Structure 1
Amino acid sequence: MFRILLLFIIIVPALEIALLLLSGRTLGLLPTVLLIISTGVLGAWLARREGSEAIQKVNRQMQTGQMPGDAILDGLCILIGGVVLLTPGFITDAVGFLLLIPATRKPFKRWMLTFIERKMKNGQFMFIRR
């Protein structure tokens, strides 16, 4: 877990800064700033749309008596994707969009499900019903 935190805290921001500087030199300052702003606006719109669909899917499944596990994983991916898109940078934007687009979200959901199942088997993650 420490390696993953190290990656997110040190390596990703350093790579983001390098890419932003390269983009600024290649495209210019104004196009780079406009690109960052436009990905943020597009990401916010997409997160809102996908989030609304996920909430509706959870409600429909609960009304029919189904457990909305897949819809909850969708919602979690959308939440993480939206938060990541708020961070300026091209790498985080790419990851954010991958989490927001339904077709590219599937591998992340499979990984999350595997992660949760592994934690439950090891007794590190459990559900308590009250």
Structure 2
Amino acid sequence: MALRLLLLFIVLPIVELMLLIKVGGLIGFLPTIALVIVTAFVGSQLVRRQGLTVLQRIRESQARGETPALPLLDGAALLFAGFMLLTPGFISDAFGFVLLIPGLREKIARRLLSKVVIMQAAPGAGARYAGRGEARSKPSSVIEGDYQRKDGPSDSADDSNDRIGRDDGA
């Protein structure tokens, strides 16, 4: 995990900067800046359009009484794509534009959803847990048993007064 964070926050920006410098040397400073601005603008418009579609899918899911898990993950992927597209750099733009492909985004969302345990409400049975295609019952929080009070004011031989919670007449 630490290696991934190192790559994300240190190595990736350095590579992005090197690529921007290299492209700036090939096509010039102003065209490079213009290219970064155009990709950010086009990407933000695409994210906005697709985001409205995803929002509509979330509302339709809720209207049908379904959990909108897949559309919500789709929206999260779009949010990440928007972040990547607004970040200056060509590698982040490439990742952002890849996440704008609806079929690929849905495939990623389904894969993530299959690895997550989802809590579902079952009618009449309380909460149930489902994960990887199967439903499991929630364990009961009631523990049945008998007990005997040891610290009482009297130490009588008749322990029937000390038992609590028994229905067997003892």
Q: Provide the TM-score with structure 1 as the length reference.
A: 0.83
Contact kept, 8 Å, 2:70 with 2:110, in 1: the verdict is: no
Structure 2: which 5+ residue stretches go unaligned?
118-129, 132-170
1:38 corresponds to which letter in structure 2? V
Structure 1 residue 107 displacement after superposition: 4.2
Structure 1 residue 31 displacement after superposition: 1.1
Larger C-alpha radius of gyration, 1 or 2?
2
Deviations 1:3-32 (A, max 9, x none): 111111111001101110110011111111
**Equivalences, count:** 119
Contact kept, 8 Å, 1:54 with 1:75, in 2: the verdict is: yes
Contact kept, 8 Å, 1:99 with 1:108, in 2: the verdict is: no
Contact kept, 8 Å, 1:16 with 1:89, in 2: the verdict is: yes
Q: Name the residue aligned to 1:46.
A: 46
Which structure: greater helix fraction?
1
Q: Name the residue aligned to 2:3.
A: 3
Q: Name the residue aligned to 1:82.
A: 82
Contact kept, 8 Å, 2:70 with 2:113, in 1: the verdict is: no
CA distance in 2 between counterparts of 1:113 and 1:3 reads 25
Q: Name the residue aligned to 2:67.
A: 67
Tell me the percent identity.
40
CA RMSD of aligned residues (A): 1.8
Deviations 1:83-126 (A, max 9, x none): 11111000000111111221332343244335535xx98xxxxx
CA distance in 1 between counterparts of 2:115 and 2:87 reads 25
Relative contact order (alpha carbons < 8 A, sep ≥ 6): 1 or 2 greater? 1
1:12 corresponds to which letter in structure 2? L
Q: Name the residue aligned to 1:17.
A: 17
Change (3 A) 1:4 1:27: same
Q: Provide the TM-score with structure 2 as the length reference.
A: 0.65
Contact kept, 8 Å, 1:54 with 1:74, in 2: the verdict is: yes
CA distance in 2 between counterparts of 1:66 and 1:114 reads 17
2:36 corresponds to which letter in structure 1? I
Alignment partner of 1:92 is 2:92: yes
Which structure: greater strand fraction?
2
Structure 1: which 5+ residue stretches go unaligned?
122-130
Structure 1 residue 66 displacement after superposition: 1.5
